Chains A and B, each alone.
Chain A
Amino acid sequence: MPKKDSKDKAPPRALEVVGAPPAGRARAGQPEGSSGIDFESVRVLARIAAEFDLEEIELNGAGHLRVRRGLRDGGVTPLLAPAPARPIGLTPPVDSADETDGAFVTSPFVGTFYRAASPETPPFVDNGQAVRKGQVVCIVEAMKLMNEIEAEADGRVEEILVKNGEHVEYGQRLIRLSKS
């Protein structure tokens, strides 16, 4: 489940860009002894923030980037760890309603997600694997019962969204399938 950071009590703030990428670059007009903020990167980040309607982008010296979409969507993306040179990939908020680029296997209960029936057996499915409607794709354990979760339609496993052993809540997306 995507980690939440601190609870947001304040209403959505104006765009806030925090920190700076590690690369140092020469800039015109930068006063002596300045903080060393790379304004070109800041401008790029600000444009991206506007394009994707973000409330906050945070970039720290270790190359960790975090973006936040704002209170009303309830969407908080997990900490991404690419170097700043790469394009910023945004994971859409978990509860965005009109996702049409794939079908999702969602959890019917609160519990713990497992990719296999037991630690000794292989996972039910892997990335790229084709699945049939009714095929067991994973397990959600709730109250000591291992519930087998089935694919609702034929498809191909595109992405496994949850880590093995992670806790999941009702309605949480577990596996993304493409319609095959």
Chain B
Amino acid sequence: MGIRSVAVHSTADADALHVRFADEKVCIGPPQARASYLSIPALISAAEVTRADAVHPGYGFLSENAHFAEVVKKCGFQWIGPQPEIMRLMGDKVSARATMEKFGVPTLPGTGVIETDRDAEEAIERIGLPVIIKASAGGGGRGMKVVENKSRLSAQLNAARSEAKAGFDNPNVYLERFIARPRHVEVQVLGDGTRAISLGERECSIQRRHQKLVEEAPSVALDDERRAKLLGVARKATERLGYQTVGTLEFLLDEDKQFYFMEMNTRIQVEHTVTEEVFSVDLVREQMKLAAGEPLKLPADIRPRGHAIELRINAEDPVTFAPSPGRITALNLPGGLGVRVDTHIYNQYLVPPFYDSLLAKLIVRAETRPAALARLRRALAEFVVEGCKTNLDFFRRLLANAEFVAGKMDTHLVERM
């Protein structure tokens, strides 16, 4: 795109690949994220000294922090993301639910902020058990508690409130009907503030402790009719929000394949890659163009071609899932038609212990899901990482799992393996 880049990094990431490839780099702080990647003064200062025009927040860290977006804009930089007001609205899960409900988007039977135990009991009368307690300021599956019977309700509410306060600095919790074996399907949306489109859906049901491990596009859980309904609902809601740039609406599918809105992520996601593969659209490029104020030029009716699957290769023990930092001593990345690896690692790279354990994203694309699975098996056989443990063997087992191969999965499949 002809845009020069500045990579900001902590001292622990001084040797990261993107730091080497960027046009300029600035060290912004020590390994602790609080003093570097989460430090708004350090980030703004780095933008100032390099005379940057815009700030791209990536995913994680401050990417969904509306206050940071406001500071970036107030300091005269362009924010590569949606309007801060919308980030704030969607960042609070209670207001996000209420907004989507108003738009006619199906939401799980649930409540607003629970003030008293009595409120919770009344809600349970209305919704029925089991319910799940969630933090309003939370997300990403953290700080949730399932209530199976009323006797433990009070204790669980108190625990949930403390965890919410500790984890998100906000003790507010709400309740939702709990779906025992849901599928996780999300919709990629793009908007220019006036017009919006849905660029297909992704299925992310293979998770462990609410962390996604496998993502696919399209979802084999949906027939054409249900898909059209889901994509239409997501597109209209995005347009009504006046949303600008890219985002994702996450839904749960219950056992009857009814979909319910869960949350909206107001940023680019890790798994945007599988959408790119089946639609041949560069989502980060589109995000940047939309952030620059260009109108959305993609047509509303692009159809995906083929099937794409992404695996998140993490530096962790394949059995215990404990993180496994270390120096990579051997590396072979698979290639060939329909095989893509997005990664920051290289031979001799020292995987730091301070951050997320994601090492690489392995993405395959093929004409059909069975063909994609076969290609994935071959790519996994050629993927070599030595020096730290990885979950490669876990994925090899997953690809032999009958449920997964048949496409009949839910978010608890990994636990059952």
A62 to B350, CA, bound (A): 40
Known contacts A9-B20, A170-B30; A110/B45 CB under 8 A: yes
* Cβ–Cβ contact A110 & B49, under 8 A: yes
Residue in A7, A72, A74, A170 whose Cβ sees the most chain B Cβ within 10 Å: A170
Quote the shortest CB–CB distance from B307 to chain A (angstroms): 34
Contacts of A7 in B (CB 8 A): 20-23
A172 to B48, CA, bound (A): 17
A39 at the binding interface (Cβ < 8 Å): no
* Cβ–Cβ contact B27 & A143, under 8 A: no
Contacts of B23 in A (CB 8 A): 7
* Cβ–Cβ contact A110 & B348, under 8 A: no
A109 at the binding interface (Cβ < 8 Å): yes
A8 to B21, CA, bound (A): 8
Interface size on B, residues (CB 8 A): 24
For chain A, residues 100 to 135, give those with C-beta under 8 angstroms from any C-beta of chain B.
Answer: 109-112
8 extra interchain contacts, Cβ-Cβ under 8 A, other than A7-B22, A7-B23?
A8-B20, A110-B42, A142-B45, A169-B26, A169-B27, A170-B10, A170-B26, A170-B27
A171 at the binding interface (Cβ < 8 Å): yes
B28 at the binding interface (Cβ < 8 Å): yes
Q: Which residues of B come within 8 Å of A, CB atoms?
A: 10-11, 14-15, 20-23, 26-30, 36, 41-42, 44-46, 48-50, 75, 348
Residue of B nearest to A172 (CB): B27
A sample of 29 inter-chain contacts (CB < 8 A) reads A7-B21, A7-B22, A8-B20, A9-B20, A9-B21, A72-B348, A74-B14, A109-B29, A109-B41, A109-B42, A110-B26, A110-B42, A110-B45, A110-B46, A111-B45, A142-B42, A143-B41, A143-B44, A143-B48, A169-B26, A169-B27, A169-B46, A170-B11, A170-B26, A170-B27, A170-B36, A171-B27, A171-B30, A172-B27
Kindly identify which residue among B15, B20, B22, B27 contacts A110, using a CB–CB cutoff of 8 Å.
B27
Known contacts A167-B49, A170-B36; A142/B27 CB under 8 A: no
Contacts of A142 in B (CB 8 A): 41-42, 45
Quote the shortest CB–CB distance from B231 to chain A (angstroms): 41
Interface size on A, residues (CB 8 A): 17
3 nearest A-B residue pairs (beta carbon): A167-B49, A169-B27, A110-B45
Quote the shortest CB–CB distance from B399 to chain A (angstroms): 34
* Cβ–Cβ contact B11 & A74, under 8 A: no
Quote the shortest CB–CB distance from B42 to chain A (angstroms): 6
A74 to B50, CA, bound (A): 20
Contacts of A109 in B (CB 8 A): 29, 41-42, 45
A159 at the binding interface (Cβ < 8 Å): no
Residue of A nearest to B51 (CB): A167
A95 at the binding interface (Cβ < 8 Å): yes
For chain A, residues 137 to 179, give those with C-beta under 8 angstroms from any C-beta of chain B.
Answer: 142-143, 167, 169-172
Residue of B nearest to A140 (CB): B45
* Cβ–Cβ contact A74 & B48, under 8 A: no
Contacts of B22 in A (CB 8 A): 7
Residue in B11, B23, B26 whose Cβ sees the most chain A Cβ within 10 Å: B26
A49 to B27, CA, bound (A): 29
Quote the shortest CB–CB distance from A86 to chain B (angstroms): 32
Quote the shortest CB–CB distance from A108 to chain B (angstroms): 9
Residue of B nearest to A71 (CB): B20
* Cβ–Cβ contact A170 & B29, under 8 A: yes
